[in-house]
Chain A
Amino acid sequence: MIELKKVSKSFGSTQVLQPTNLRLTPGETTVLIGPSGCGKSTILRLMIGLIEPDDGEVLFDGTPLTPANVKLIRREIGYVIQDGGLFPHLSAQDNVGLLARYLGWEKPRVVARVEEMADLTRLPREALARYPSQLSGGQRQRLGIMRALMLDPAVILLDEPMGALDPLVRFDLQEDLRKIFVSLKKTVCIVTHDMGEAGFFGDRVILLGSGRIVQQGKLDDLIRSPADDFVRRFINAQRLPTVETQGVL
């Protein structure tokens, strides 16, 4: 399991993360939420070793991440970014199967597993032969998720996975994703700035501000008893659709 112990990070003179402790709960979905620049993406990138902490350490199943072991640890973590991060030169099938093929899986096994993932994420099988530029945004994101799940990792990290999708596509994908996470009992960490999405996915919601954890718990707790004014303002900043009924009839 992934754990941050007193991890801090600065870029130049800007401290983007103050010393922070954080542990993902196995089998649960943790949501990191907060305004831009609050440090939520930095935490995700620290977890997968894209950046190294200035202080403290990042542990995976109790082992600190080092340059020597990070490559192998990454293979046990699924990572999804906005728009899928697919390679344009590979077909959908090859994008999902790239690492498995590299690790020496036989082709029939790769194909079978990719098709299984396509069914799971409800991607039409005929889309597997196409290239990323021939697919819709929603299909690309489903492929990104398939790629993350391909080797059946225990942990899935998602960095604003729905950010580029239109509302209808996003709605469907959110439904599908939650079912997948719950049915596969994955340990999940999602970065978002959308309160609705945070409440929909999060067993636990962590609200960050200015590089530190401001409040964490169920979304209901955050809404009912905000820890401070920042939490209250962040929650109230979410606009819900209102319907003007007066004068219509």
Chain B
Amino acid sequence: MYPADFAYYRASSVQDAGRLMNEHPGAKFLAGGHSLIPLLKLRLAVPPALIDIGRIVDLSGVTVANGRLRIGALTPHAEVAASSDVATHAAALADAAGQIGDPAVRNRGTVGGNIAHADPASDLPAVLCALDASIGIVGASGDRTVPASEFFLGMMTTALGEDEIVTHVEIAAGQQHGSAYAKFPHPASRYAVIGVAAVIAADGDACRSAAVAVGGLVPAPVRASNVEQAVSGEALTDASFAKAAQRVGEDLGDEILGDLFASVEYRRAMAPVYVARSLSAAAARARK
């Protein structure tokens, strides 16, 4: 690849990264590079400098402490997919991480880079919204935590400030629920044409509560509150999931994305199918 000329700096810590960003206006943070490098290759991004945060040691890894599952921003997708802690406390996240791109992408791409880039076809944003994750951020003005539902603002747009870095995501651990992610992958890019994350808390054979978030076909993930209400209190059956899933059209809003592979109309028609499938898979786990 022949990108335009850029300077390269390697940050030794989060603080160092912030300092470098202030010194080099317009620079880009580089983590796994799987979103940024394709843009550099096509010269669609021409930053004057890259600030490599990929070797900041304390930003990687999965831990469970104080009732919270914590995933460092530099944790590669493959590690998330293989983590027994993630499978136990946030199965939908393990599902999604294991379906990102291909093995090479999963070995290099990072959770923090993925959500900071906020590609609408990305898998993790919808999952984090459904799981009510919070996103840890650090910047010149200090640390803060933002709920996933307030982090993803639109297409490639997040609540991150220019000099801020995602440090981790956190999800409540030990919850009595089942979660799952159902994905319709694009056959070439493997990005989500539609991705639906569902979380179900079961009460016997009935649904006590549900959280459903939809991504891929919308600029930023949306919580399907109409579906959530429709499925709550109902029996955990495919018939009730299919019925509730029909409500997703009311949740998606007016801006549906379409492309050469899958039109707006088709994606709209497929959304209930994948909502139902994610509910069904989540329910199977909730019953266990």
Q: Do A and B come from one complex?
A: no
Identify the A interface with B (CB < 8 A).
none
Binding site for A on B (CB under 8 A): none
